[in-house]
Amino acid sequence: MKGKLHPILKSMIPIVGGIAKTFGKSCEVVLHDITDPYHSIVAIENSHVTERSLGGPMSQANIEAIAAGGFTGDQLNYTKKTPDGRILKSSTIVIRDEDQKPIGCLCINFDLSEFVMVRNSINALCYTEEQEENKTEKGYQGTNINEVLCNLVTSVLDTFGRPVAYMTKDDKVEIVRTLDQKGAFLIKGAIDYVAKVLCVSRYTVYNYLDEVRVGE
C-alpha cells in the first residue's frame, strides 16, 4: 500500500474485527483503502470466505468505478456467488474524509450457504402434492441457446438444495447424469460451461459422462 493510512481508515480497523467476531466465521469483513485499489485491503477478518488477504486488490468492477469517478454510493444487502458456488449476502459502505471525498470502503460478505441448505430442507419437508398439481410447466426458456443452457443447469443444481462447494463427487456425477438425460450436452459449449459451474476440469466432466453412460 502506498503512503500513510488515513487516520479515519486506521480508526476503523478495530471495527472490522468486532463485526466479524459478532457474526462468526461465516462473516468476512474487509476494509479497503481506495487510494491504492490494486493493493487496497488494509484489514480483513474471516478471509476464508473469499480467499483474499492483506494487500490484495479490490474487485475489477470497483477499480473501474473508481477510475470513472463513480464510486460514491453505498451498495447494501445484495447477493453474489463465489467461484465455487457459495452464496454471499454483501454490503459495501463508502468511507469519506472530512471533505466528503471517498477514501475507502467497508465490505461485509456473509456466507449464506448453510442457511440456504436449511431453507431448502424446510421447503422439502413442507412440500405437498397439492403444490405439484398447481405447478405450471414452464420449460427451460431463454432468448438464445446459451441462456437455455444456463437455465437448464441452474434448474438441475437447484434440485440438490446446496451450493457446489458442499457437493460430493457423487452429487456432481448425478448432476451430469441428469443434464445428459435432458440433452444438455447436445448444446455447443455445454462441457466447458458445466465444468466451470461444477468447479472441475472439462476432462472430469467427460469422465463423469463416461461413467454414467456405461451400460446404456
What tens digit of pLDDT does each residue of 53-65 get?
999 998 887 788 7
Cell numbers for 44, please give them: 480483513
What's the CA gap between 35 and 150, in Å, rounded? 38
Q: Which class is 7-114 in CATH?
A: alpha beta
pTM score, two decimals?
Answer: 0.64
Query: What residue type is assigned to position 191 of the chain?
Result: I
The pLDDT value given to residue 55: 94
DSSP state of 88: E
Supply the pLDDT for residue 137. 44
Residues 142 and 152: their CA atoms lie apart, in Å, by: 10
Instruction: Give the pLDDT score at 67.
Output: 78
Alpha helices in the chain (DSSP H): 7-23, 60-67, 113-126, 129-134, 145-158, 169-181, 190-198, 202-213
Half-sphere exposure of 130 (CA within 13 A, CB side): 1
Whole-angstrom distance, CA of residue 153 vs CA of residue 172: 12
Contacts of 187 (CB under 8 A, 6+ apart): 145, 148, 149
Q: Residue 106, SS3? A: strand
The one-letter code for the residue type at 19 is I
First CA to last CA distance, the chain = 59
Measured in degrees and rounded to the nearest 5, phi and psi for residue 15 equal -65, -35
For the chain, domain boundaries: 7-114, 140-213
| Amino acid symbol at 54 | L
67: left (phi over 0), alpha (psi -120 to 50) or beta: alpha
Tell me the pLDDT tens digit for each residue of 113-156.
888 777 767 767 776 766 555 544 445 555 567 788 888 888 88
Share of the chain above pLDDT 90, in %: 40
Asked whether the beta carbons of 69 and 51 are under 8 A apart, the reply is: no
Residue carrying C-alpha cell 398447481: 134
Residue-level length of the chain: 216
15-19, 107-111, 181-185: least confidently modelled range: 181-185
Please tell me the predicted confidence (pLDDT) of residue 1: 47
| pLDDT value, residue 19 | 96
Region at 187 (left for phi over 0; alpha for psi -120 to 50; beta for the rest): beta
